[in-house]
Homo-oligomer: A and B are copies of this chain.
Amino acid sequence: MRDIFHQALEDVQARVIEISELVTVSIDKATRAFGKGDVALAEEVIADDKKIDELTRSLDEQAIQLLAMQQPVARDLRVVVTALRVTASLERMGDMAEHIAQLARTRYPERAIPKGLKDTFKRMGELDVEIARELTKLLAAPTAETALPIADAIRNSDDDVDELHAGVFEKVLSDTFQGDSGAVIDATLASRYHERFADHAVSIAKKTVYLHTGAWDADAALDARIHAEAPPV
């Protein structure tokens, strides 16, 4: 039988995963709303974001109470500290989904995606959804062995998002781009929101490396792993 403290600790972990699942639903809905100009779906995302905000705030509070009442040590402490350190990023990921939904709503009944950028944003949206799904798996991963490959995958997808983000600016600045200033603003902001969404996932991935390994320099830990696996050049 688990004692009350360990039940509370499991509850903290379960709630981190729950928020990550909600963020996944939000970014999935937001990118579909943005792609199709679906204002009802956009409204859902905007409403759901309030719930994500509330859940992250209450999780923070629970984590700090655990610190205060139970004074956890070793891995237990790392679980609580990691929860505290990732909630802000999860909350921001929810905000990015909400911002994308806002763009869809503002432009309705037009579509928010400027001409010539449909495929790019479709792919960025898919990558963000994929990253959110991987993030939930990562947060549920019980060991470093299961977590590290997922963290790698998130970093790789983030690189792809960064490339698409750079491509948006290239397209907008090219002679063939036909949009007006409003289209340029939409493209710039939407691309930035998609890119930041992925960045926050990478930031969380780094923090879960610490959770599992206690290694502070997650970059070095992940880089060492990637270099060890890369074929010789």
Contacts and interface: CB of A to CB of B under 8 A. Distances in A.
Copies per complex? Answer: 2
Contacts of A172: 181, 185
Interface stretch (A5-13, A80-88, A130-138, A139-147): A80-88
Contacts of A60: 85
Contact of A185 (B64, B74, B173): B173
Interface stretch (A20-28, A40-48, A65-73, A149-157): A65-73
A192 interface: yes
Interface in A150-199: 169, 172-173, 177, 181-182, 184-185, 188-189, 192
A57 interface: yes
A223 interface: no
A108 interface: no
A17 interface: no
B57 A81 contact: no
Contact of A181 (B67, B71, B81, B177): B177
A51 B206 CA distance: 19
